């Protein structure tokens, strides 16, 4: 102790302390993040989580989905939908629903990550269903070409070839996919939220889903080489832009051209 | 009234004629007096306009240089960012180069070139004499040919002229083969396995869970060396599993599905777009081109939009290994209607 | 013609000497004398024809560049260019070469975007130009034939646009061709044969791109060029029309001489149009074919639409219900040799609206001529308000077109305004019939109201906003009388009166003539007579007197 107190005025002490501090925070951070990752990797939840989740469920979800999530007129039974469905629906703010409508809309998430996990843990106890996706399929390092091909065959008809979204019948729609996190994309494919069909692993393999995610990440981040994309909506937005902005500028010039100077 | 104070040429005609109009109307006061521009009266303003025009031309020069900078200066490195940058600067360069010249010239014309409005007489398209003479000449020519008096010549000529262009149509015959029976058949046949689009791996009945949708091609499609797209354009199929109680098969079609798994042609019966939008809760199929909506629970009957006929159903079953196979070809032609469809 | 042969004329300036040199060899002095100072009226709405011409020139220039790199073959290849998400994919050579133009030819993407944006602007400029000609009555004698040439040019430019749209062989254009094929197959008797001959067998075949390419770069542009030459020749023969105003009549043309002012403005305008398109191509993506992927008959993208000028036909296809009150719109007709299929759900929307629009467009000059029995030459334009019925017809046609055009984007209307796709279709079906009628009524009323307003201003002057109190306590707003020039602009129009049927030489009013009289009533029953000097005179004296007179005068109905 004495030696330490003597040395604390050493010119190098401050540096040593700084290094120590940095290493400590870094180490702690590493531990914490690996813990988090481990959590995400596994689909096993603790009984405590499920218990907490049940409380949350009764307070927030049972109105529509019924006690024990058996379903009512206003909401389907959740037996067998799996943790992935909860992670998607609650994680993207679609659930709890604000009001009944053609389909649940995305909005700011009502529950934090822990609460979402607890709810997922509870719903997972109700029956077997798709679990939280494994991180190895979410890294966006697959084959973008393959993913693009799969996307065009299986997804583009609703979500548009540039993932800009599209209309379904009677007020329903397929949302744009820019800004949707990789795990939510994966969960949507395996659970088929709302009117979206389910793409199980026999239909599109986990590797295929990884490729699709890679493709979506690629086109989202590469930007539009030709300039502003006008919403990537195709000829309609191009025609509208031409008739308003371009023709407006042309008319402006014709008026200037034929007016007299002062 | 209203004469030009500055004596513009050829404008005198405009005023004089007004007097002949009916009394009830207002008389044409003639061209308004010419108003001078700032640059006409103030040499400073003229000088300023001159400088502005020169600046605009200068901007054009800079624009052209910008183009060269973008073309040679920006190296494309396989990332789209550099491509976007190059495209933008190429365009801005050309844009400035062109707009500089254009606005410069126009500004020059507006501010510095004479802006007297000139009135020019319209000449009649032709004089009365010409008109009479022309009609006479045409009549004479017709008369001299004697075509009106000799109907035999006229009629045989008309006959010959009507026939002569027909070879021009006939010679187009070899543009393509005759339709024959092609539109009535697809690649599907008994025992043909249903395979995933695009990789062509066969599908087991157990793979198709409730709520999922498979985009399907015949397994042998990928083995074709030619005509692959033509066959795919007829054979594309959508595979869906419903609760068997939700299906309402018509008599004779009860065994066309397998445990609630149904396969329907994906090609719209309207004008042929792929009807690929499946809503798993309503079991509706929507065509994204013209919004025809088909109800899977009623054998793909049309419930909205311009299509009339339901999507043809492909009868399916499973083979000994559990793979889904077709029982036969479609029982009717797929895709849009055509005259010989019957 | 040239004076050079007789007199040893020596030009004094260097440009003069060059002019003379050329003239002595090709003899253009007569033409120059005729054209050098030809007068062109100046108005912003006269410029759209030029926009069309200039965009066509830009299309020729950029299109030529693209042909140097584009290969219209449908042979299969594997992509090996710079665009990562398509690497290694099987596709046609046409799509591959379009991708190479976009990603690996420097400036290629820019030229593609210039080409496509100019194409959209070209058809738009042609359309706006025709709207201007219609609404101002510039199609009247002697310009009816040029109106017809213009109409053919519009059709040709749409054909040119569609063939170009199909060339890249991407998923979007391929599905567009698929729709065209579906429509062709619906043609009774010959449809299947036309389809097989066009595609060289079953859709999609391997020849359609190269065949469309030939149409796109050779046949149709040649026809357009020829028609443009005829069109411009007739403009020179007729001389340009002009808006009504002081000093302008059917016997003169007032404007700027070709050289230098008009030539400079028109020439400069070419560079301006080019500049605008270059800026747009620099900053806004058009037709990102790399998003759509190669054509394959199985996939499709949401929002599959044609370019705007074909959109109205696509919209009509969307609006048509397949089942009308449980009656199918597709009939299987039993004939002696078997059952044949007639697809009215396709034929009606594909042919009828376009048929109505183009037949009316081509015949309108003669319809109006027949109704008005007006055989005079017209060089002074009508202000749209001064021909209320014609303007209303034009607007109702425009609305008819726009409803179909909107229908072509019904899915995007649904997603962007968060309404039901089906409801959008129901509403547009109603508007398809009601829109043109409502548009007609409203436009006619607005035009008549504007005419009354003009009359009011011509007789009473402009409201100054200055209120004065008269000695006996009355408040009155001061009106400033117009000068003669401004007033003339408001009163110098013709307002035809509805005509009764005229008996022929036997004293009988024929059925045709009765029909003409009915149409004449439809056109001219509601009218606002132009103000007369007598009314102005009366108005100066007694304010009240003119008010009461106005009750009877402006709108005469019978």
What tens digit of pLDDT does each residue of C486-545 get? 888 888 888 888 888 888 888 888 888 888 999 999 999 888 888 888 888 776 654 444
Q: Is the pLDDT of residue C221 over 60?
A: yes
Q: Which residues of C touch B181 (CB under 8 A)?
A: none
Yes or no, beta carbons of B115 and A260 under 8 Å apart: yes
Distance between CA atoms of A113 and A234, rounded to whole angstroms?
37
CB contact burial A243-260 (16+ within 10 A = b; e otherwise): beebbeebbebbeebbee
Instruction: Please indicate, yes or no, whether residues B133 and B263 belong to a single structural domain of this protein.
Output: no
Q: Is B106 found in the same domain as B134?
A: no
Among B175-189, C212-226, C363-377, name the most confident range: C212-226
Q: Is residue A69 part of a domain?
A: yes
**Interface touch B337/C317, C-beta < 8 Å:** no
In a domain, B250, yes or no: yes
Question: Total structural domains in chain B?
Answer: 3
* Contact flag B212-A200 (C-beta cutoff 8 Å): yes
- A139 shares its domain with A97: no
Same domain, B80 and B158: no
Q: Average pLDDT for residues C240-252, to the nearest whole number?
A: 89
Q: Is residue A204 part of a domain?
A: yes
If one counts the domains in chain A, the total is: 2
What is the C-alpha to C-alpha distance for residues C149 and C514, in angstroms, rounded to an integer?
A: 32
Residues A73 and A58 in one domain: yes
Does C199 sit behind a cis peptide bond, omega within 30 degrees of 0 on the bond before it?
no
**Would you call C331 an interface residue with chain B, using a CB distance cutoff of 8 Å?**
no
Contact status of B46 with chain C (Cβ, < 8 Å): no
**pLDDT at residue number C554:** 43
In this predicted structure, what is the pLDDT of residue A8?
61
Say whether both A185 and A212 belong to one domain: yes
Strand ranges in C392-519 using DSSP code E only, listed in sequence order: 462-469, 475-480
Answer whether residue B192 is part of any domain: yes
pTM, entire model: 0.88
Shortest distance between the Cα of C48 and any Cα of chain A, in A, equals: 9
Contact B71/B83 with Cβ under 8 angstroms? no
B175 is a domain residue: no
Question: Is residue A189 included in any domain, yes or no?
Answer: yes
pLDDT of residue C175: 93
B273 and B231 in a common domain? yes
Residue A73 located in a structural domain: yes
Domain with residue B272: its CATH number is: 2.102.10.10
For residues A104 and A144, state if they share a domain.
no
Query: What is the end-to-end Cα distance of chain B in Å, rounded?
Result: 80
**B21 belongs to a structural domain:** no
Let me know if residue B200 belongs to a domain: yes
For chain B, 342 residues long, the average pLDDT of each consecutive 10-residue run is: 36 36 71 82 90 96 95 84 92 96 94 84 80 90 88 93 93 90 90 90 90 92 89 93 89 90 94 91 91 92 92 93 92 91 80
Mutate to test the interface with C, among B70, B82, B172, B271 (most CBs of C within 10 A): B271
Q: Domains (ranges, CATH) in chain C? A: 1-35 (no CATH), 36-242+257-291+301-382 (1.20.810.10), 383-495+528-558 (no CATH)
pLDDT of residue B329: 93
A217 and A154 assigned to the same domain? yes
φ and ψ of B131, to 5 deg: -60, -50
Contacts of B279 in chain A (CB under 8 A): 168-169, 172, 195
Q: Do C285 and A219 touch (CB under 8 A)?
A: no
Nearest to B81 among A150, A223, A259 (CB): A223
Highest mean pLDDT among A111-125, A167-181, B176-190, C427-441: C427-441
Chains sharing 3 or more CB pairs under 8 A with chain C: A, B
Q: Is residue A77 part of a domain?
A: yes
Q: Is the peptide bond prior to C204 cis by the omega test (within 30 degrees of 0)?
A: yes
B314 and B193, same structural domain? yes
Residues 6+ apart with CB under 8 A from C358: C151, C155
Does the residue B207 lie in any domain?
yes
Which ranges of chain A would DSSP assign to H, the alpha helix?
Answer: 2-7, 13-41, 47-60, 62-65, 82-91, 113-124, 144-154, 156-159, 182-191, 206-222, 235-241, 247-258
Q: What ipTM describes this predicted complex? A: 0.88
The reply to whether A138 and A218 lie within a common domain is yes
Residues B103 and B143 reside in one and the same domain: no
The boundaries of the domain holding residue A104 are 46-132
Q: DSSP H helical segments within chain B, as ranges?
A: 13-16, 38-41, 43-68, 80-111, 128-145, 151-163, 166-170, 228-235
| pLDDT at res. C550 | 41
Q: How confident is the model at residue A234 (pLDDT cuts 50, 70, 90)?
A: confident
Q: CA angle at residue C375 from C369 to C380, to 5 degrees? A: 90
Q: What is the pLDDT of residue B274?
A: 93
Q: Which of C39, C328, C485 sits opposite B308 (nearest CB)?
A: C328
Chain B hits for A100, Cβ within 8 Å: none
Residue B58 belongs to a domain: yes
Q: Looking at the domain assignment, is residue A84 inside a domain?
A: yes
User: How open is the CA angle A230-C290-B225, to the nearest 5 degrees?
Assistant: 150
Q: Are residues B194 and B330 in the same domain?
A: yes
User: Which residues on neighbouring strands pair with residue B317, listed in sequence order?
Assistant: B325
In a domain, A262, yes or no: no
Domain that holds residue B100: 36-111
> Do residues B107 and B154 both lie within one domain?
no
pLDDT over 90 for what percent of chain C? 59
In this structure, the answer to whether residues B296 and B229 fall within a common structural domain is yes
Residues B156 and B202 in one domain: no
Average pLDDT over residues C283-301: 92
Same domain, B257 and B336: yes
> To the nearest whole number, what is the mean pLDDT of chain C?
89
Whether residue B288 lies inside any domain: the answer is: yes
Same domain? For B233 and B84 the reply is no
Same domain for A138 and A220? yes
């Amino acid at each position: 102790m004495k030696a330490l107190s003597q040395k604390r005025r050493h010119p190098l002490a401050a540096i040593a302390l700084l290094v120590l501090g940095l290493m400590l925070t870094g180490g702690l951070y590493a531990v914490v993040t690996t813990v988090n990752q481990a959590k995400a990797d596994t689909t096993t939840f603790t009984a405590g989580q499920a218990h907490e989740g049940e409380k949350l469920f009764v307070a927030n979800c049972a109105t529509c989905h019924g006690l024990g999530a058996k379903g009512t007129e206003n909401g389907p039974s959740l037996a067998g939908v799996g943790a992935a469905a909860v992670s998607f629906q609650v994680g993207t703010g679609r659930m709890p629903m604000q009001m009944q409508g053609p389909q649940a809309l995305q909005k700011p998430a009502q529950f934090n990550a822990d609460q979402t996990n607890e709810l997922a843990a509870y719903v997972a106890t109700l029956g077997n269903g798709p679990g939280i996706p494994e991180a190895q399929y979410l890294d966006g390092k697959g084959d973008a070409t393959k993913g693009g091909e799969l996307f065009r065959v299986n997804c583009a008809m609703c979500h548009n070839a540039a993932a800009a979204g599209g209309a379904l019948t009677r007020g329903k729609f397929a949302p744009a996919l820019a800004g949707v996190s990789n795990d939510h994309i994966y969960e949507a494919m395996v659970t088929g939220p709302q009117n979206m069909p389910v793409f199980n692993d026999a239909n599109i393999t986990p590797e295929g889903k990884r490729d699709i995610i890679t493709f979506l990440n690629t086109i989202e981040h590469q930007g539009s080489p030709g300039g502003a994309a006008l919403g990537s909506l195709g000829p309609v937005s191009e025609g509208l832009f031409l008739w308003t902005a371009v023709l407006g500028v042309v008319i402006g010039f014709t008026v200037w051209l034929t007016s007299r100077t002062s | 009234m209203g004469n030009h104070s500055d004596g513009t040429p050829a404008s005198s005609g405009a005023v004089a004629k007004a007097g002949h109009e009916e009394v009830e109307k207002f008389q044409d006061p003639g061209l308004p007096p010419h108003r001078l521009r700032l640059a006409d009266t103030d040499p400073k303003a003229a000088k300023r306009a001159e400088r502005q025009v020169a600046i605009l031309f200068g901007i054009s020069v800079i624009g052209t240089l910008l183009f060269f900078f973008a073309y040679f200066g920006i190296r494309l490195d396989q990332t789209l960012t550099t491509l976007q940058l190059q495209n933008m600067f190429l365009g801005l360069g050309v844009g400035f180069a062109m707009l500089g010249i254009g606005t410069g010239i126009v500004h020059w014309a507006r501010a510095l070139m004479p802006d007297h409005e000139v009135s020019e007489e319209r000449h009649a398209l032709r004089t009365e004499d010409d008109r009479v003479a022309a009609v006479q000449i045409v009549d004479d020519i017709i008369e001299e040919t004697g075509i009106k008096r000799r109907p035999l010549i006229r009629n045989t000529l008309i006959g010959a002229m009507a026939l002569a262009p027909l070879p021009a149509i006939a010679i187009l015959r070899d543009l393509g083969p005759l339709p024959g029976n092609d539109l009535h058949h697809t690649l599907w046949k008994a025992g043909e396995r249903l395979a995933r689009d695009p990789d062509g791996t066969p599908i087991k009945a157990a793979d198709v869970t409730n709520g999922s949708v498979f985009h399907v091609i015949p397994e042998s499609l990928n083995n074709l060396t030619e005509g692959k797209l033509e066959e795919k354009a007829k054979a594309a199929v959508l595979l869906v599993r419903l609760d068997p109680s939700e299906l309402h098969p018509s008599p004779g079609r009860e065994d066309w599905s397998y445990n609630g798994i149904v396969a329907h042609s994906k090609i719209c019966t309207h004008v042929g777009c792929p009807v690929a939008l499946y809503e798993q809760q309503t079991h509706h199929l929507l065509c994204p081109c013209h919004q025809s909506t088909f109800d899977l629970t009623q054998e793909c009957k049309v419930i909205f939009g311009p299509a009339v006929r339901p999507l043809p159903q492909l009868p399916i079953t499973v083979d000994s290994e559990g793979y889904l196979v077709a029982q036969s070809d479609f029982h009717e032609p797929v895709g849009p209607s055509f005259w010989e469809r019957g | 013609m040239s004076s050079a042969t007789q007199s040893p004329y020596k030009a004094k300036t260097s440009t003069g000497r060059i002019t003379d040199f050329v003239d002595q060899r090709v003899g253009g002095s007569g033409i120059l004398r005729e054209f050098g100072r030809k007068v062109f009226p100046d108005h912003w709405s006269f410029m759209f024809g030029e926009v069309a011409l200039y965009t066509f020139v830009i299309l020729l220039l950029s299109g030529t560049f693209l042909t140097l790199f584009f290969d219209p073959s449908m042979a299969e290849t594997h992509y090996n260019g710079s665009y990562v998400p398509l690497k290694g994919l099987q596709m046609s050579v046409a799509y591959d070469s379009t991708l190479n133009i976009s990603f690996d030819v420097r400036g290629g993407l820019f030229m593609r975007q210039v080409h496509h944006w100019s194409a959209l602007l070209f058809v738009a400029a042609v359309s706006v130009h025709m709207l201007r000609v219609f609404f101002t009555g510039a199609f009247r004698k002697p310009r009816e034939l040029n109106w017809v040439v213009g109409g053919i040019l519009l059709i040709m430019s749409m054909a040119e646009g569609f063939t170009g749209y199909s060339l890249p062989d991407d998923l979007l254009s391929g599905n567009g061709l698929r729709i065209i094929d579906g429509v062709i197959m619906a043609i009774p008797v010959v449809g299947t044969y036309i389809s097989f001959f066009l595609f060289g067998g079953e859709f999609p075949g391997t020849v359609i791109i190269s065949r469309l390419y030939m149409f796109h770069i050779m046949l149709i542009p040649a026809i357009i060029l020829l028609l443009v030459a005829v069109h411009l020749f007739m403009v020179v023969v007729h001389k340009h029309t002009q808006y009504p105003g002081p000093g302008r009549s059917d016997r003169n043309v007032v404007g700027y001489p070709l050289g230098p002012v008009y030539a400079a403005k028109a020439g400069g305008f070419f560079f301006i149009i080019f500049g605008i398109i270059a800026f747009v191509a620099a900053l806004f993506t058009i037709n990102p074919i790399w998003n759509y992927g190669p054509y394959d008959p199985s996939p499709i993208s949401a929002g599959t639409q044609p370019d705007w000028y074909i959109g109205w036909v696509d919209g009509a296809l969307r609006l048509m219900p397949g089942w009308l009150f449980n009656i199918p719109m597709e009939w299987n007709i039993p004939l002696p040799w078997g059952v044949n299929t007639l697809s009215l759900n396709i034929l009606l929307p594909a042919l009828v609206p376009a048929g109505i629009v183009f037949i009316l467009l081509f015949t309108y000059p003669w319809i109006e001529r027949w109704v008005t029995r007006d055989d005079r030459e017209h060089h002074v334009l009508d202000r749209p308000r001064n021909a209320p019925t014609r303007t209303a017809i034009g607007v109702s046609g425009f609305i008819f077109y726009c409803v179909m055009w909107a229908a072509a984007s019904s899915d995007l209307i649904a997603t962007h305004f968060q309404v039901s796709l089906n409801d959008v279709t129901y509403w547009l079906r109603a508007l398809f019939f009601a829109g043109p009628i409502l548009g007609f009524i409203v436009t006619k009323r607005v035009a008549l109201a504007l005419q009354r307003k003009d009359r009011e201003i011509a007789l009473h002057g402009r409201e100054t906003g200055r209120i004065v109190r008269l000695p006996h306590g009355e408040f009155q707003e001061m009106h400033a009388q117009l000068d003669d020039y401004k007033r003339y602009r408001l009163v110098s129009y013709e307002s035809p009166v509805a005509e009764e049927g005229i008996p022929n030489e036997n004293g009988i009013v024929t059925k045709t003539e009765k029909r003409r009289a009915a149409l004449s009533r439809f056109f001219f029953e509601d009218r606002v007579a132009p103000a007369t000097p007598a009314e102005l005179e009366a108005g100066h004296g007694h304010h009240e007197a003119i008010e009461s007179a106005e009750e009877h005068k402006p709108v005469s109905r019978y």
